[in-house]
Chains A and B, each alone.
Chain A
């Protein structure tokens, strides 16, 4: 299997063999991250820019660390409001950055499709670090990596994704990736936050969390964004926690080896209680560790291809 993609935009574009290569490569990089000297010279002389139009500390820091561990130079640009208010378009901003001869632009944008438009117009590799509610490929890859590490496989596992599916790019990317790898995915959440036609993506829809808990090998919780509450999708956060929040007592019916995942940051007491977030089933911190390895793998693979 030879890697030929120049950009990472959406897991939907990747074959199973490509997904497997990423996961395998990430395994090697996880080993690098465990060394005393956590740095290899693979991307020496390359420049990697994070261009974030939406605030995010975790993802940006994870990418930055990944690039640094590969010896690339990194530059962080928080673009929210800076040049846009001067009438510059996203593409202008990106072209200006590229004019400084950078090799990869890692972009996060509040609007779906921006990374794709940039990829069409830039020579640099474009990595989607989250666009609108569409895709967050590296998050899904690190989730898949974590699952594979724990179970030794993804094929045949049952994964329940719980929460605000409508606004979740994490859910969409995981659905694409996990189903392609042969997992069976069930989405669960309030019906008002369930997008139309989601079952056509090859997932089951179940509004009963207890059923989902009982059958799942992995339960992936999504963050409830309180700011979305202006649109009144839910009666209240309190009611959400009651109907869709994970508590110890609810987990009693779960499989013994069930994994509890969350892309972070968690709303403790809403999506899950604190004891579960810190409990034996939780792999939330491992997800963060694996995020660096996955992002190293992506940077390594993409920066080796020529456009």
Chain B
């Protein structure tokens, strides 16, 4: 995917979010650090352009909820979580760049629920590459990309990577 494809996908997902939720009343967007947060910002920006209203955006760091913490060699760096609104009874749109095994989303769901009791949680991802290990599916998908399990999918976004937007699929170097 190149920058234009990504822009169009973000735009389409924004429209789908509006359509499904019948506007933005009660909707909040939470992006998962790092690239999910960038995408969350873009979606909220797009919605503002369409509807003329701000959607609250939060940033979630799921490190402390990972299920592999006891297995990693050294603890991953914890970043701040910034959610400046009450999630209770809100419709939460959770945003991430790539949906793969589903484990990150599981951690994010746990984290959000620790903040309160949302009315519902929806999931938006730029890429769905398959190979789920948990019963999780996305409500909004930018693009489905079939992959082999040993491939890597890199999403590059200008805000976080200081490079032009793109999605790259790499074979793992053995």
Contacts of A306 in B (CB 8 A): 73
Of A3, A4, A45, which one neighbours B70 at CB under 8 angstroms?
A45
Min Cβ gap A2→B in Å is: 5
- Residue contact A40 to B61, C-beta cutoff 8 Å: no
Verify if A95 is at the interface (C-beta below 8 Å from B).
no
- Residue contact B115 to A304, C-beta cutoff 8 Å: no
- Residue contact A32 to B73, C-beta cutoff 8 Å: no
- Residue contact A41 to B73, C-beta cutoff 8 Å: no
- Residue contact B74 to A305, C-beta cutoff 8 Å: yes
Given the complex of chains A and B, what is the CA–CA distance between A136 and B26 in angstroms?
A: 48
- Residue contact A40 to B65, C-beta cutoff 8 Å: yes
- Residue contact A2 to B114, C-beta cutoff 8 Å: no
Instruction: Pick the interface stretch among B5-13, B78-86, B93-101, B127-135.
Output: B78-86
Given the complex of chains A and B, what is the CA–CA distance between A306 and B72 in angstroms?
A: 9
Contacts of A24 in B (CB 8 A): 77
- Residue contact A35 to B115, C-beta cutoff 8 Å: yes
Residues 94 to 123 of chain B near chain A (Cβ within 8 Å): 110-111, 114-116
Contacts of A251 in B (CB 8 A): none
Verify if A84 is at the interface (C-beta below 8 Å from B).
no
Min Cβ gap A125→B in Å is: 12
Could you tell me the dominant secondary structure of chain A's interface residues? loop
Min Cβ gap B105→A in Å is: 16
Contacts of B64 in A (CB 8 A): 32, 40-42, 70, 300
- Residue contact B116 to A4, C-beta cutoff 8 Å: no
Could you tell me the dominant secondary structure of chain B's interface residues? loop
Verify if B75 is at the interface (C-beta below 8 Å from A).
yes
Given the complex of chains A and B, what is the CA–CA distance between A24 and B114 in angstroms?
A: 22
Given A32-B64, A42-B64, A42-B69, A300 and B78 contact (CB-CB distance below 8 Å): yes
Min Cβ gap A93→B in Å is: 27
Contact bitstring A95-115, B, C-beta under 8 A = 1, else 0: 000000000000000000000
Of B61, B69, B79, B116, which one neighbours A304 at CB under 8 angstroms?
B69
Given A36-B116, A37-B114, A40-B64, A31 and B73 contact (CB-CB distance below 8 Å): no
Of B72, B73, B78, which one neighbours A29 at CB under 8 angstroms?
B78
Given the complex of chains A and B, what is the CA–CA distance between A42 and B61 in angstroms?
A: 12
Contacts of B116 in A (CB 8 A): 36
Given A31-B81, A32-B64, A304 and B114 contact (CB-CB distance below 8 Å): no
Contacts of B81 in A (CB 8 A): 28, 31-32
Of B65, B80, B110, B114, which one neighbours A27 at CB under 8 angstroms?
B80
Verify if A39 is at the interface (C-beta below 8 Å from B).
yes
Given the complex of chains A and B, what is the CA–CA distance between A60 and B63 in angstroms?
A: 26
Given A35-B114, A42-B69, A3 and B74 contact (CB-CB distance below 8 Å): yes
Given the complex of chains A and B, what is the CA–CA distance between A289 and B114 in angstroms?
A: 21
- Residue contact A304 to B72, C-beta cutoff 8 Å: yes
Contacts of A297 in B (CB 8 A): 78
Verify if A276 is at the interface (C-beta below 8 Å from B).
no
Of B72, B77, B110, B111, which one neighbours A25 at CB under 8 angstroms?
B77
- Residue contact B75 to A28, C-beta cutoff 8 Å: no
Contacts of B82 in A (CB 8 A): 31
Min Cβ gap A30→B in Å is: 9
Min Cβ gap B118→A in Å is: 13
5 tightest CB-CB pairs across the interface, nearest first? A304-B75, A40-B64, A42-B64, A37-B114, A28-B78
A residues with a Cβ closer than 8 A to B are 1-4, 21, 24-25, 27-29, 31-32, 35-37, 39-43, 45, 70, 297, 300-301, 303-306
Q: Could you pull out 17 A-B pairs where Cβ atoms are within 8 angstroms?
A: A1-B77, A2-B74, A4-B74, A21-B77, A32-B64, A35-B114, A35-B115, A36-B115, A40-B64, A40-B65, A40-B111, A42-B64, A43-B69, A45-B70, A300-B75, A303-B75, A305-B73
With A42-B63, A303-B75, A306-B73 given, name 18 new contacts (CB 8 A): A24-B77, A25-B77, A28-B61, A28-B78, A28-B80, A29-B78, A31-B80, A31-B81, A31-B82, A32-B64, A35-B115, A36-B115, A40-B114, A41-B110, A42-B64, A70-B64, A301-B75, A305-B74
